[in-house]
Amino acid sequence: MSIALFIQHRFSERWKDHLSQLLPTTKIEIYPEIEKPDEVSYAISWKHDLGVFNQFKNLKVIASLGAGVHHILKDESIPESIQITRIVDEQLQKDMASFVLTQCLNVNRNIFQYLRQQEQKEWKLNTYKTPEETKVGILGMGVLGKSAGELLHQNGFQVMGWSRSKKQIDYIETYEASALNQFLSKTDILVCLLPITKATIGLVNCKMFNQLPKNSSFINVARGELVEDADLLKALNNNRLKWAVLDVFKEEPLSKNHLYWSHPKVIITPHSASLTNPKTASKQLAANYLRLTEEKELHNLVDRERGY
């Protein structure tokens, strides 16, 4: 039995080192350098190439490197018999909330504007609103939306939350599905933290943007598939939106040709809002591998029907 890593753009060598320390006698390889494919029983994946697992006849488990498993579930070539696990780590929520706070503060305090001005050597003061005067509207009131909302509230922002079914959350003004337009009309900064489902793909489109006040901003830290890119570009170009702060994209890495890269009102980060911590996550991955060798039930198993 051996472990193989299928990790794109996420420091494969570092993960291998961490796992090797915890499992010193186990063979751990990085795809595509796999000596004996038939020995691989445990795959660790972050955005693997679809279909790649067909080469591994004795694969028992695919472990996601993060909390999300969309990148695994969308690979229809994976047999039902293979177990899928994910990382459950409270730090992921904390990092996400902290990233959302960072970008809301940047929008509020004109930091992106000043960086653009610096390119032109332009010294020009812009007024700002305090967090107390700023309404952040969060799309999606799941675990991530709620914890981001709470951190924003602690830092003085007015926080509103929209979700399919209305939720009762302290300090957050919640709106249910049918009250979407009312929610959007009050939003200065729209933060997307929706889950990805059939109902949410492409949901953030011109219909939404047109309900926002002029010069509002949009932050996407969920998934690129939630947004209609052409509509977003239109909303930026007609000044509906002041900034689009994007951490996620339909295609990652974002293609060099994409209009986002050089759009003056788009701020790009490379899916970095919340990164699995190799130290703590390696412990979960190694423990589950040992449970597999001992034929015990795995931790943090994913229910494919439910999607997490």
Residues of the shown chain interacting with a copy of itself in the complex, contacts defined by CB under 8 A: 9-11, 91, 94-95, 98-99, 101-103, 105-106, 109-111, 114-115, 117-118, 121, 123-128, 130-131, 154-156, 252-254, 256, 261-262, 267-272, 275
Q: Nearer to a copy of itself by C-beta: 131 or 140?
A: 131
> What is the torsion angle, in degrees rounded to the nearest 10, for the CA atoms of residue 242, residue 243, residue 244 and residue 246?
-170
- Select from 286, 305, 257 the least CA-distant residue to 19: 286
- Look up residue 129 and give its two tokens: 């609103």
Active-site option among 18, 48, 223, 240: 223
CA distance 166 to 174: 6
Of 83 and 146, nearer to a copy of itself (C-beta) is: 146
Least gap, CB of 155 to a copy of itself (angstroms): 7
How many Cβ atoms sit within 10 Å of the Cβ of residue 122?
A: 9
Choice between 112 and 183, CB closer to a copy of itself: 112
Q: Is 70 a catalytic residue?
A: no
Quick one: 267 or 302, whose CB is closer to a copy of itself?
267
Q: How far is the CB of 227 from a copy of itself (least distance, A)?
A: 18
User: What's at 242, amino acid-wise?
Assistant: K
C-alpha distance from residue 54 to each of 32, 88, 122, 133, 153 (Å) = 13, 27, 56, 55, 47
Side-chain-facing half-sphere of 101: CA atoms under 13 Å = 19
For 220, phi then psi, to 5°, come to -115, 115
Active site residue 271: yes
Q: Name the active-site residue from 116, 271, 291, 304.
A: 271
Q: Which amino acid is at 158?
A: Q
Minimum distance, C-beta of residue 287 to a copy of itself, in the bound complex (Å):
22
Q: How far is the CB of 14 from a copy of itself (least distance, A)?
A: 8
Q: Which residues are catalytic?
A: 223, 271
